[in-house]
Structure 1
């Protein structure tokens, strides 16, 4: 047995030596191939269509990330040109004849000088092997592997994106995919590969069919980047939730038991002064952003101007010319890690612009900023301005105000998205402090002139905000040698708290049931209730002056609806802002000892004022369209889509449904007022402080303004107008349905559900006491609703199913759609 064992061992050794002897040198293996020197040398075999990668530094960490070089063109699917994939720190490790591409687990670390302590953590959590390669050749310490199979994969998970958006089941077709050598390049610090990837599948959805020539074959360009990690000269900076700067987090198991286990650093570019002790100094290496020359003029200049605003913030932080914007050079590759890029992207439908970044997962250092700006946003802004001030007349020049507003918005948009790539999240409380931040979502400011006409001259901010300077100061200021950085950073925050600046972000503003009275998207003004009153006046002026002159001569009259939608719903975001005052609780990101008030409910008088303002916005005389407008809206003509999500969805077939706009607006308002979280909060705050309004008071106000407005059918609308009476009946039905939804909502507290059920029962009893309404439509409404409530109480949902309101036309982002989908340089 022992002889046999040694025989097998000797055979294995001889075989191994034979294999090793047969492994050619890199020089021999790559004869006839085209070599590209650079960060990671590679060879291209044009005859076989293969790429061979030379690895000279095993066990050395580098950064790998995929991107989408050429997209699909549908905002809804999200596969945009320039889309960034996730960063991966990887290293190549050898195991016999195999090279493994290993991703260490940087979410769990030990920041310790003790190698055994670090090893204990590393061995406690899984790593990821992203790929395995066979050694094809080697020379000295250099090995050669075929990279082609790794490159020829769906690296950005495009097939998953298509499936997730219900556009079909697709998979990669290798026979229709290939290397794309025009964008496969090598640079001193990074190596770039590009592939043409085709996904094939069946039953493509409408989004795909609208943008792909043959929707069963979706071809895009995917890009792979291998980047040298930066040196250790970057200084991490502690994260503070009050600072308004994004960051990274990880578990540090070397932390003393009494200290937090999770470490947090902010995310920022590396920026250093030439003279650290000077109050103002030039940077050793300025931050430069490059503009996509594919953006046309005058749009390109507006985008570059808005981007350049950030230099104001860096000047306030002690730098001279440290932030610059230039046009991308003709010979530059947008995928090159050296270029922070602002990219102009086209889609078939309007959608989000966004700012992302590639950063070092170990430290939070931003290595490349990448902004994607959707080209259709400017057209939506122009459409809004068109509805507000346009007077198209044959032979006459149209107002310059519309293009001026559109360009003003583009400047703000560019600054906003670049801000994300500098490390800044949204700050949605800034609009209550005089446009303190470009990182807010701004609604266009429309003023009313003394003659009653509308003024767009102050539509958007014209520079960086006061908050933006504070956040950049926290992230990028370099303190003189000998300074205590922790104390200096703390002073930046305490100083801004003294002057009333503030920071609250997405988690506080996006949810429809959120509570803060000053933190909203697309709102304006210092006070949400006052601004709603003002916005309603602007809306009324826009509707009163709406005519066929809102579209150019020769356009189908039916296309007036595209212009009408943003005018009719001009108040939608301010209604949401005011609704959040109801049951509102204001709070801060307070730290112990910083003197901030942690949280307090909004004053009861302000809550009641907000309730009345919101209810006023859903009265029939407000929601009914002026009859001259109704007379201008024929069915859609041949060749013009009538099912666009940009239009009101009606129930009358081809003809314009006069009740559809009111249905959309009412559905939005009721979804805010009777949101399960808001209803639960109303009941909770009433229990703690009886002086505050509870859900009972809110529902009573709703019922009083609708069902109990008047029992006389001829005066139910306030004017005896039959159209307004029909709008009121529609609103009444929706109030009842929303109360039913709340009473059966698992997201609501038991107290809120009980109260909603009780109020439905009260309303039922009131209805039963009413005499027969003189108008047949009102009586029909009464009989139908009584039966519906009765069936609901019996649990018979099938007897009278829920009539779901038609969705409102797309709104957010106001100059564009799809939430919470906006990618930004967020928490890692």
Structure 2
């Protein structure tokens, strides 16, 4: 019999007063020697007969705890003895035969911050589930609660000084997030280390894949634990790397073509748990809204400022000069990018050049060879998702067509710790296929996609970058190589073109990994006539920043072609890197972020210089026509007109040269559509001049005008004239019957190449109408009309384009057949469709079924009355064909009906 049991039984047989004496003695023992406090409090809370029960329960509880500790110790010895031990940041024990894995947490590792990064290592190649996709990254700590170890995500959004009184209220006000918990499987009685089954933590859909699959695939998938396992586990001094394979099933599956059976699929996820850098000399750098960096922001409740509680640090790498006394020094630790061994050999040189392009900027910031490039060997024993390596990765998909440059950042300081650029192979492969189709007359049908209103892609997500629009622009360049020159490009020319495109694409993504955001003002640096002058573009740059979304630079007709894409970073890029990375000269060992502020202000004060103009994602919502995606030059009016002319030339050349002998007619349809899309994109650039305003992120007192400067009335009128000539006029679209009758669709019907269910023949009326309708609705959008009204108060009257002037210009152009004052003309089918849509917009304004300013509604009423009078006059003539006669009669009747309905409503 155990000693505890004997003492318990003996005490129960004693008289009550003896029990009291014993209990008092036990309490005294507990106070002096610090024994179990719960036991002490339990004893002191009972009297009389309750003491007997309390003593019995306490000794039973103590006995259970002793047994539990012995069992935990036994399990610890058993697990650590039989498992394969992996020493490192966290010690791991792995069982190859069962697939089990255990993680050991030492006492000093409890409640300590670590960084977790989660990457989708293998995907399915479609519908948003792609290899290399970053899933999560966050700060976490392990916390013991009873017999479990909780995995807790640290709340870093709210902070205060350590041990400040405000710290107590913050803990009560804002909670951390317990992302998972695992029962303690064993413990060391000497070191107090704890063991948990890693499967209890990570094999319960820790990364949230079930929700991702449901939102991306629109199907209910469930995690199958018996199909899930750890494929590889490694532990290093500063990080732990874990690969998990998750099996999912769905009774009905999803509409997928890349997997053999969509009812079951497997996804591999890579985890990196790493130690945060501590006391490494990194100084967080304060952000400035004039310089475009991703930021780490938090509210500091210890700051005694009422205007702004936020502290904002830029995200940047920790670069230190090895010889800070010199104006130019190599860094103590350079930024190293590894080119993944899965990247085709022929593309590696372009990728390397795109990465190293940024060393020019770092040299100005005081660093020699700040960035290095290394090649991942074919037999490398590490994975690209390993947090220790910054990589450029290559993945394949059916429908992705994008590149991304995400980073992993210390959420406490903004220090960038890891970066992995991913590029979909189809972005480059499609150009090679395009070349084969155009030059060799391949019968392989090109992929047909069209959306004439698309102006940019994925701007809302900072991690998602170049996508389908980038591939589209690159393909337009290959088409220009074939159609705007006198010779069909050879393989050497195409290789040079692809090299130039990929180099620029990588330079853009590397810019993101250095902390830089998009700059959609970067493309405005050069005048249109300078864009193809290589003496300028090779010395200054093609654009102010490679962080813009740049279209392919296609020279206007009669101009010798220059660079299709930038060959070097721009002035803004260099200036931004100086702001982020130039070190402050100081005589003290450690400088604070606030002490850097005056130094940084001197750099940021240069922002009014034209080549340093900056506008990012949230600045480009149809307000500033010079801050836009997929535009080029400081005069977008002239640029877009030249590209509209180029598109018309390409249509003519397609009519003359294609299809090539032996080629499929479906290729011609794809190329025709591509030019049409290009035409629509450039037409939409003109729309933004109407009610347009330039916007600068300048500060008061700088050598600038106001924050907003309205576009001149002259430029707005010129934009309207160009839209009338290239979009709305009778002669805007002239295609030969021969060309239209050759636009056949692809006849390949199989997975990944479905035949469109729309019309078999080419819907030319629908294509033209969609473009015209989109432009017209954008011009007469309620928000744009409201801005026109506002601008009348923001500028002198003679410089303001008014709503009546906009309405009259559009109506005079769209209804010219009945408003010219001369003999009425026959109205073509294309014009009739446009006129009906214009009529519909005005009717909705009058009937107030759309949200427009009241002034716009009254002007629409006036325009309808004028239009009806002109139509009624035209109807008196007898030489109108039936199409025109019926069209005008119905229009007049609809106006009458609408005006009567308005009067009745009032």
TM norm structure 2: 0.79
Cα offsets for 1:76-129 (capped at 9, x unmatched):
x3222111123221111112222111222110110x243443233222211111
Alignment counterpart, residue 480 of structure 2, candidates 359, 380, 388: 388
Q: Name the residue aligned to 1:160.
A: 211
Partner of 2:238: 189
Q: Any conservation in 1 of the 2:666–2:745 contact (CA below 8 Å)?
A: yes
- Candidates 114, 137, 140, aligned match of 1:62: 114
* Contact 1:623–1:661 (Cα < 8 Å) also in 2: no
Give structure 1 stretches of 5+ with no counterpart.
797-828
Q: Which runs of 5+ in 2 are unaligned?
A: 1-48, 431-470, 527-542
- Change in Cα spacing, 1:238 to 1:654, as seen in structure 2 (3 Å) is same
Q: Is the 8 A contact 1:61 1:90 kept in 2?
A: yes
CA shift for structure 1 position 336? 1.1
Closer/same/farther in 2, CA of residues 188 and 551 from structure 1, 3 Å limit: farther
Establish whether residue 666 from structure 1 lines up as the match of residue 772 from structure 2: yes
DSSP-derived class of the 1:485 partner: helix
Q: Superposition pairs for residues 753-768 of structure 1, below 5 Å?
A: 755-756=859-860, 759=863, 763=867, 766-768=870-872
Decide whether the 8 Å contact of 1:438 with 1:468 is kept in 2. yes
Alignment counterpart, residue 314 of structure 2, candidates 242, 255, 266: 266
Distance 1:258 1:213 in 2: 60
Give 1:739 deviation, angstroms.
4.6
Deviations 1:371-404 (A, max 9, x none): 12122223245632342232799x9974644443
- Say whether the 8 Å CA contact 2:482–2:488 is kept in structure 1: no
2:89 is equivalent to residue 39 of structure 1: yes
Alignment check: 8 A CA contact 1:383 1:563 kept? no
Match status 1:464 vs 2:573: no
Question: Contact 1:713/1:778 (CA < 8 Å) preserved in 2?
Answer: no
- Identify which range, 773-782 or 697-706, moves more after superposition: 773-782
Equivalent in 622, 629, 650 of residue 542 of structure 1 = 650
1:473 maps to 578
- The Cα shift of 1:584 comes to 0.9
SS in 1 for 2:767: helix
Does 1:578 find its partner at 2:686?
yes
Q: Whole-Å Cα distance in 2 between the matches of residues 539 and 90 of structure 1? A: 54
User: What is the CA-CA distance between 1:592 and the residue it aligns to?
Assistant: 3.3
1:638/1:265 Cα in 2 relative to 1: closer, same or farther (>3 Å)?
closer
Q: Is the 8 A contact 1:557 1:634 kept in 2?
A: yes
Query: Is the CA contact 1:303–1:411 (under 8 Å) kept in the aligned structure 2?
Result: yes
Q: Flag the 1:295–1:784 CA change in 2: closer, same or farther, 3 A.
A: farther
Distance 2:893 2:747 in 1: 41
Q: Which stretch shows the higher mean deviation, 432-441 or 156-165?
A: 156-165
Question: CA offsets, 1:353-386, max 9 Å, x none?
Answer: 1211111111111111121212222324563234
Give the match for residue 728 of structure 1: 831
Distance 1:382 1:480, change over 3 A: closer
1:586–1:599 Cα contact (<8 Å) kept: yes
1:72 and 1:534 map into 2 onto residues whose CA distance is: 42
Match of 1:771 among 875, 880, 903: 875
Aligned to 1:802: none
Contact 1:392 1:553 in 2 (8 A): no
1:325 equivalent in structure 2: 373
1:377 is aligned to: 427
Q: SS state of the match for residue 180, structure 1? A: strand
Q: In 2, Cα distance between the equivalents of 1:582 and 1:438?
A: 27
Pair 256,635 (structure 1): closer, same or farther in 2 beyond 3 Å: closer
- Moved >6 Å (runs of 4+): 640-645, 711-717, 790-796
Counterpart for residue 124 of structure 1: 173
Task: Find the structure with the greater CA-based Rg.
Answer: 2
**How far, CA to CA, are the matches of 1:219 and 1:714 in structure 2?**
72
In structure 2, the residue matched to 1:568 is 676
- The farther-off stretch of 550-559 and 635-644 is 635-644
Segment drifting more, 333-342 vs 32-41: 32-41
Q: Say yes or no: does 1:781 pair with 2:831.
A: no
The SS at the match of 2:732 is helix
In structure 2, what is the equivalent of residue 655 of structure 1?
761
Contact 2:572 2:611 in 1 (8 A): no
Aligned residues: 773
Task: Return the alpha-carbon distance in structure 1 between the equivalents of residues 792 and 238 of structure 2.
Answer: 62
* Residue 349 (structure 1) aligned to one of 394, 399, 412: 399
Q: Aligned Cα RMSD in Å?
A: 3.1
Q: Distance in 2 between matches of 1:607 and 1:574?
A: 16
Aligned residue among 89, 92, 98 for 2:148: 98
592-601 or 370-379: which moved more? 592-601
Post-superposition CA distance 1:415-459 (Å, at most 9, x none): 001111110000011111130100001111111454xxx755421
Aligned twin of 2:808: 700
Q: Deviations over 1:751-773 (max 9, x none)?
A: 44555566456545654554077
Q: Distance in 2 between matches of 1:19 and 1:642?
A: 59
Name which of 138, 144, 148 aligns with 1:88.
Answer: 138
Q: Which residue of 2 aligns with 1:19?
A: 68
Secondary structure of the residue that 1:282 maps to in structure 2? coil
- Between 1:11-20 and 1:481-490, the stretch displaced more is 481-490
- Deviation per residue, 1:628-685 (Å, 9 max, x gap): 421322343243899979x9x96xx211122233123223322432333212211222
Decide whether the 8 Å contact of 2:508 with 2:547 is kept in 1: yes
Which one of the candidate residues 406, 410, 417 is aligned to 2:502? 410
Q: Choose which of 309, 334, 338 in structure 2 pairs with 1:290.
A: 338
> Do the aligned partners of 2:129 and 2:216 also contact (CA within 8 Å) in 1?
no
8 A contact 1:445–1:459 mirrored in 2: yes
SS in 2 for 1:446: coil
**Contact 2:669–2:742 at 8 Å: present in 1 too?**
no
In 2, distance between residues paired with 1:578 and 1:373? 32
Q: How does 1:105-254 map to 2 (within 5 A)?
A: 105-110=155-160, 112-139=161-188, 140-165=191-216, 167-181=218-232, 184-201=233-250, 204=253, 206=255, 209-232=256-279, 233-254=281-302
Q: Which residue of 2 aligns with 1:420?
A: 512
**Normalized per residue, which structure has more helix?**
2
The answer to whether the 8 Å contact 2:575/2:612 transfers is no
Alpha-carbon deviation of 1:504?
0.7
